[in-house]
Amino acid sequence: MKQSTAITIATGVAAAAIGSLFLYSRATRPPVINSAVPEPAKSVELARYLGKWFELARHENRFQKGLDAVTAEYALDEDNRIRIVNSGIQSGPEGARSAIEGRAIIADEATNAKLKVSFFGPLYTGDYWVLDHGDDYEWSIVGEPGGRYLWLLSRDPKPAPALLEALLERVEALGYDRWALRITRQR
């Protein structure tokens, strides 16, 4: 076999593998639960947003499937990027904890409410929008412009039921289907 033929075959195999991976990632995305995602409602004071958050609910997705006791911790690195550590427990709140670390940069410096996040290296980044948050940063609603992902976060792992209900109502006011969300069990 000639070298050029081998290179052509290798290039074709690589292109097919990348294409398959792209199709798989598109096929496993959650369905759209808001076709008209609003712009973030408020600016974000980054120093107040940093720290530990507990997930109250989410639109289920393949990379968090079945996780409970989910937390997200945000810290500022020396290079002004945000370090994110997401963790959760598979098979109920008493299972073993697993974690993944990512990085984020601010994509909208006017509001700090839009970030670009990567958990899988520089080849894949996703949008992370803080759609709304409490005045004292006691809760946050996070989504992205495609309307496929949504998270409800709180500083308290088990807030009062009235707060969760108010957040679910706020989700509806933002145009999301609250019934598409999975409530996260916390310890």
Instruction: From first to last of the 187 residues of the chain, give the pLDDT tens digit.
Output: 565 554 544 444 433 333 333 333 444 688 999 999 999 999 999 999 999 999 999 999 998 998 999 999 999 999 889 999 999 998 765 678 999 999 999 999 999 999 999 998 777 889 999 999 999 999 999 999 999 999 999 999 999 999 999 999 999 999 999 999 999 999 8
User: Is 56 within 8 Å of 32 (Cβ atoms)?
Assistant: no
Q: How far apart are CA 20 and CA 75, in angstroms?
A: 35
Instruction: Report strand pairing: 51-59 vs 126-133.
Output: unpaired
Q: Please give the model's pTM, rounded to 2 decimal places.
A: 0.83
Helix (H) or strand (E) holding 184: none
β-strand 139-143 against 150-154: which pairing, if any? Answer: antiparallel
Question: What's the confidence (pLDDT) of residue 8?
Answer: 47
Nearest CA to 128 out of 136, 138, 137, 118 is that of: 118
CATH number attached to the domain at 46-183: 2.40.128.20
H or E element: which one contains 59?
strand 51-59
Q: How far from chain centre, in Å, is Cα 59?
A: 10
Geometric angle at alpha carbon 49, from 45 and 50, rounded to 5°: 120
What pLDDT sits at residue 161? Answer: 96
pLDDT score at 96? 86
Strand partners, 71: 54, 87
Q: Where are the domains of the chain?
A: 1-30, 46-183
Length of the chain: 187
pLDDT for 122 equals 76
